[in-house]
Amino acid sequence: MNPVKKRRHLSKRAATLSADFILTATIATASLFGADMTFAAGDKPVQNDYFHTGAGNHYLHRADNDIITHSLRDNISVLEGSGANIVVLSGKEGTFLVDAGISKSREKVKAALLAISPAPVKYVVNTHWHWDHTDGNAWMHAAGATIVAQANTLKHLSHTTHVDDWNWTFQPVPAGARPTVLVKNEKTFTFEGSQIKVEHFGPGHTDGDLMIYFEKADVLAMGDTFWNAGYPFIDNQDGGSVDAAIKWANKAIERSTDHTIVIPGHGPVGTRTQIIEFRDMLVAVRDNVRRLKLQGKSLDEVIAAKPSAAFDAKWGNFVIKPDHFVQLVYAGL
């Protein structure tokens, strides 16, 4: 390239980068271990690009706000605002966490944990592999925490994983961010006088979900097998399906009572009644989509028929919009 053309090229590139500076800077500050965050000049947001326009973008911007701490019972709290909900059991032994949030809000999460207890984090259980639940693994492990997960979660965090629905490729995370205590089907921890049961029931939202039950407090942490904010994401590509999601909801209903506090991956703390409502929504939309698909309808035709219409006002206002949710259900049948 001759000098004149080179200067023009660099000038054009600088202008493009300037236009994208705020978005790029926001994402870069997240320290997304292993995520391929390199954007070519002139990159344009595309549908379901996780960090431009999708759920990842939502979580990054939400992390600009304060962490909100919800105190429940028997020394269990929930931190809201760092990607997924973070569950905290605190005591003299330290703290036991469910999910790690995103690293962009590390200092805010540290401050929130310190306000609960000065004791160090001892364990972090990843409910599954998705970025908004695991991006905090690296700094929590560096601070002394042991990372716990299902074996398939380790697999996804250790290999390059492309999610078609997010139009994004995640690279392997550093060794320190990977789980070292693995749960095949079930493992019980004793911590602060409480039995903590960690269970895997096969494929659900992904192929590596875990459900965590704090026996003394009667608190059930479900990760993304329960969303109390809107339609859930279902990772069909990595082992999930709508039928499997329904199975997990039924397991949670079996294992809870009207006294049980139920913590979703996203949204406010809930109850058994709300799990039932969530399950019933999944079943109804699944049945509507299945009937249309069996009639030979294409995906576009099924979406146009609006099989989720009865639920859109309540469930369609978070990061997974109605048409996207119908697409996820259709793909999993």
| Whole-Å CA distances, 300 to 162, 291, 303, 321 | 24, 15, 5, 15
Q: Find the range with the poorest average confidence among 21-30, 205-214, 294-303.
A: 21-30
| Residues 169-228: tens digit of each pLDDT | 999 999 999 999 999 999 999 999 999 999 999 999 999 999 999 999 999 999 999 999
If one compares 324 and 12, the residue with the highest pLDDT of the two is: 324
How large is the C-alpha radius of gyration of the chain?
21
**Average pLDDT along the chain:** 89
Alpha carbon distances (Å) from 178 to 44, 127, 154, 253: 32, 13, 6, 31
**30, 66, 65, 36: which is closest to 49 by C-alpha?**
36
pLDDT tier, 27 (very low <50, low <70, confident <90, very high otherwise): very low
The confidence score (pLDDT) of residue 284 equals 98
266-276 pLDDT tens trace:
999 999 999 99
| Res 1: pLDDT | 55
Question: Which pLDDT belongs to residue 53?
Answer: 87
Query: Is the CB of residue 84 less than 8 Å from the CB of residue 265?
Result: yes
Q: Around Cβ 9, how many Cβ atoms within 10 Å? A: 12
- Model confidence at 26, pLDDT cuts 50, 70, 90, reads very low
Q: What is the pTM of this model?
A: 0.88
When mean pLDDT is compared across 24-38, 78-92, 302-316, the lowest value belongs to: 24-38
Residue 6, burial from CB neighbour count under 10 angstroms (0-12, 13-18, 19+)? exposed
Helix (H, G, I), strand (E, B) or coil at 213: strand
62, two tokens: 């939400």
Least confident of 22-31, 82-91, 182-191, 226-235: 22-31
Alpha carbons 81 and 108: distance in angstroms, whole number: 9
Q: In the chain, what are the domains?
A: 31-37+46-332 (3.60.15.10)
Q: 18 φ, ψ to 5°? A: -60, -40
